Chains A and B, each alone.
Chain A
Amino acid sequence: MFSELLREDQSRSPEQRPRPERSRTDCPILLTQRLVLRAPHEDDIDALAHLANNANIATMVARMPHPYTIADAADFVRRTKAGAIGKCVYAITKADNGAFIGCCGVEPQEDGRTVELGYWLGEPYWNQGYATEAAQSLTDMVFRTRDVDQIDARCRVMNIPSRRVIQKCGFQFQATGMVQSLAVGGMVSVEWYRLDRRTWVSLKSWGNIG
């Protein structure tokens, strides 16, 4: 195995050599049945500003300004590219036509053993299973490529569809708490869910039986 890698190394340029340790910090493009998850770029700014300028979304997440302008969208894309908003922020796009429909991402926590999952979808794309599809592929990516023990997710107590997404991904209820919401302009009650690696492994192997 090792010798094989060594031989391949010599025939490849340094950029092309397999670097197993890179996958831990990189955010690969993720493909699901109906979606493509990729890094946001400047072409998304118009669609992002259009979909995100919605109080029904902004009041459900912690740090989305409302109203949401073109300038906010451009700033978001710029900060994402600079790596300022955690390591992995994805644009959720439709596989069939490439349309931008929302964002998701994972943010490493300070303990180094946990990442927090976040997502939002434009209102026209709600209730079609897109968020679940994106969250599941992101969850799989995290456990397959990173040395973390668990993934946390938090949603507002009143956000029943989001809680459903978290539950369908196998997360389990932990506790309640409060967080500051930028759009609400105050504290909101949240529920905290967690998926640990062993539960994920168990769920994955369970699904393959039969």
Chain B
Amino acid sequence: MSALRHEREDHAVANPGSVPAIATARLRLRPHRLADAPAIAESLNDFRVSRMLARVSAPFDRQDAEEWLAGVTSGLVPGWALAITTGDDVHIGAVTFEERAGGWHLGYWLNRFYWARGYMGEAVQAATARFLMRMPGVEVQSGVFADNPASLKVQERIGFRITGLSEIYSVARGAMVPHVETLLSPGDFRPAASRR
């Protein structure tokens, strides 16, 4: 506990602050709550979703969701974890900004029922815009598995550029997976990304 507190003070300068609420044309992004655990468990216990993520296990149950929520709702971990809703407060996905090895990392996922509607791009674009407003001049790292062109399109549309290829371990697949690394450099962000 005290170790965590200490760590937070170290990063106090480079912290985006508390998780905001963001409204887009069709979506409402809000901070996570522990009550989101059932919805997260339902959404991520779908291999078509979890196979595209690095650290999500398959099967994924409510306890897994609660463990993740305990971290992001504690306020002790720097970064943001935004819940995506369509306005009725029901959690359908997440956008996160995490600090990893001194840099900021963007991650996101969406319940598969809501795929192919432009929701993910809308949420990521709005969240990134707000994040950069709080943290001007920072680089944001991200990446996609090589077999996930839809996700790469989301990132390229808002200004991410491919910086390299690697292999990372996907817990859901239980294997090393080719991974495209991307970076959003300061000034590259396209806030008025068209939704199409």
Contact = CB atoms under 8 A, between A and B. Distances in A.
Interface of A: 109-111, 113-114, 152, 154, 174-180, 187, 189, 192
Contacts of B39: 177-178, 187
Contact of B89 (A114, A175, A180): A180
B125 interface: no
Nearest to A175: B46
Interface of B: 26, 38-39, 42-43, 45-46, 48-49, 88-92, 111-113, 116-118
A4 B88 CA distance: 53
B117 A174 contact: no
B94 to A, nearest CB: 14
Given A177-B92, A187-B90, 10 more contacts: A111-B117, A175-B42, A175-B48, A176-B42, A176-B43, A176-B45, A179-B90, A189-B38, A192-B112, A192-B113
Interface centre among A111, A174, A176 (most CB of B within 10 A): A176
A111 B116 CA distance: 6
B38 A178 contact: yes
Nearest to A152: B113
Contacts of A174: 112-113
Contact of B38 (A109, A113, A114, A187): A187
A109 B113 CA distance: 11
B85 to A, nearest CB: 9
A113 B26 CA distance: 19
A153 B48 CA distance: 19
25 contacts: A110-B26, A110-B117, A114-B116, A174-B112, A174-B113, A175-B43, A175-B49, A175-B113, A176-B43, A176-B45, A177-B39, A177-B42, A177-B92, A177-B111, A177-B113, A178-B38, A178-B39, A178-B90, A179-B88, A180-B90, A187-B39, A189-B38, A189-B42, A192-B112, A192-B113
A111 B89 CA distance: 22
A148 to B, nearest CB: 13
Contacts of A109: 117
Contacts of B113: 152, 154, 174-175, 177, 192
Contacts of A180: 88-90
B134 to A, nearest CB: 30
A177 B84 CA distance: 13
A127 B26 CA distance: 38
